[in-house]
Chain A
Amino acid sequence: MTLNAPFVKPSVLPGFRLTIAFTILYLAAIVLLPLGALLYRASSLGVHEIVALALDSRTLSALRLSFLTSFAAAAFNVPFGLLIAWVLVRYDFPGRRFFDAIIDLPFALPTAVAGIALTALYAPNGWIGAVAAPFGLKIAFTPIGVFLALVFVGLPFIVRTVQPVLAEVDRELEEAAATLGAGRLRTIASVVLPVLSPAILTGFALAFARAVGEYGSVIFIAGNIPYVSEIAPLLIVIKLEEFDYAGATAVAAIMLAISFATLLFINLIQARARARYGHV
Chain B
Amino acid sequence: MELDIRNLTKTFGSTAALHGVDLKVASGELLALLGPSGSGKTTLLRCVAGLEIPSGGQILFGGEDASLKSVQERQIGFVFQHYALFKHLTIADNISYGLRVRPRRTRPTAAAIRDKVEELLALIQLPGYGGRYPSQLSGGQRQRVALARALAVEPRVLLLDEPFGALDAKVRKELRLWLREFHDRTGHTTLFVTHDQEEALDLADRVVVMSEGRIEQEGTPEDVYDRPATPFVFDFIGESVRLDIHVDKGRPFVGQQEVSIPRLPPLLFDGPAKLYVRPEHVAFRRDGEGLWATVVSLHRSGSSRRIGFRADGTDTVIEALTPADREPPRIGDRAALEIQAAGLFAA
Contacts and interface: CB of A to CB of B under 8 A. Distances in A.
Decide whether A and B are members of one complex. yes
Interface of A: 170, 172-173, 175-183, 186, 190-191, 194-195, 276-280
B87 A195 contact: yes
A179 B49 contact: yes
Contacts of A176: 78, 80, 84-86, 149
B101 interface: yes
B150 interface: yes
Given A175-B80, A178-B71, A277 B88 contact: yes
Given A180-B149, A182-B101, A186-B101, A278 B135 contact: yes
Interface string B99-120: 0011000000000000000000
Contact of A180 (B87, B101, B133): B101
B56 interface: no
| Most B-side CB within 10 Å, residue of A181, A182, A278 | A181
Contacts, number: 82
A113 to B, nearest CB: 42
Contacts of A182: 72, 97-98, 101
B251 interface: no
A233 B88 CA distance: 40
A179 B152 CA distance: 12
Interface in B140-155: 142, 149-150, 152-153
Given A277-B135, A280-B135, A180 B88 contact: no
Contacts of B85: 176, 280
B26 interface: no
A120 B63 CA distance: 69
A280 B97 contact: no
Given A173-B86, A175-B78, A279-B135, 18 more contacts: A172-B80, A175-B80, A176-B84, A177-B86, A177-B97, A179-B50, A181-B102, A183-B72, A186-B101, A190-B86, A276-B87, A276-B133, A276-B135, A277-B87, A277-B135, A278-B135, A280-B83, A280-B87
Most chain A beta carbons < 10 A, residue from B49, B89, B97, B153 = B97
Contact of B84 (A175, A181, A195): A175
Contact of B51 (A175, A180, A183, A276): A175
A28 B150 CA distance: 58
B50 to A, nearest CB: 8
Contacts of A278: 87, 133-136
B133 A179 contact: no
The 8 closest A-B pairs by CB, nearest first: A278-B135, A180-B98, A172-B84, A179-B78, A176-B84, A182-B101, A194-B88, A277-B87
A66 B150 CA distance: 51
B144 to A, nearest CB: 15
B209 interface: no
B105 to A, nearest CB: 14
A182 B96 CA distance: 12
B72 A170 contact: no
Interface in B223-279: none
24 contacts: A170-B82, A170-B84, A175-B51, A175-B71, A175-B78, A176-B78, A176-B80, A176-B86, A177-B86, A179-B78, A181-B75, A182-B101, A190-B101, A191-B86, A195-B88, A276-B87, A276-B88, A276-B135, A277-B87, A277-B88, A278-B133, A278-B134, A280-B134, A280-B135
Given A173-B86, A277-B135, A180 B97 contact: yes
Contacts of B163: none
B98 A181 contact: yes
Contacts of B149: 176, 180
Contacts of A180: 97-98, 101, 149-150, 152-153
Interface in B50-89: 50-51, 71-72, 75-78, 80, 82-89
A84 B164 CA distance: 38
A162 to B, nearest CB: 16
Contacts of B152: 180
A194 B90 CA distance: 13
Interface in B142-178: 142, 149-150, 152-153
A187 to B, nearest CB: 9
A212 B54 CA distance: 54
Contacts of B83: 280
A179 B84 CA distance: 12
Contacts of A170: 82, 84
Contact of B72 (A181, A191, A194, A276): A181
A172 B82 contact: yes
A178 B72 CA distance: 6
A106 B202 CA distance: 61
A27 B72 CA distance: 57
Contacts of B101: 177, 180-183, 186, 190
A179 B88 contact: no
Contacts of B49: 179
A191 B152 CA distance: 18
A181 B98 CA distance: 6
Contacts of B86: 173, 176-177, 190-191, 194
Nearest to B72: A181
Interface in B298-335: none
A150 B71 CA distance: 44
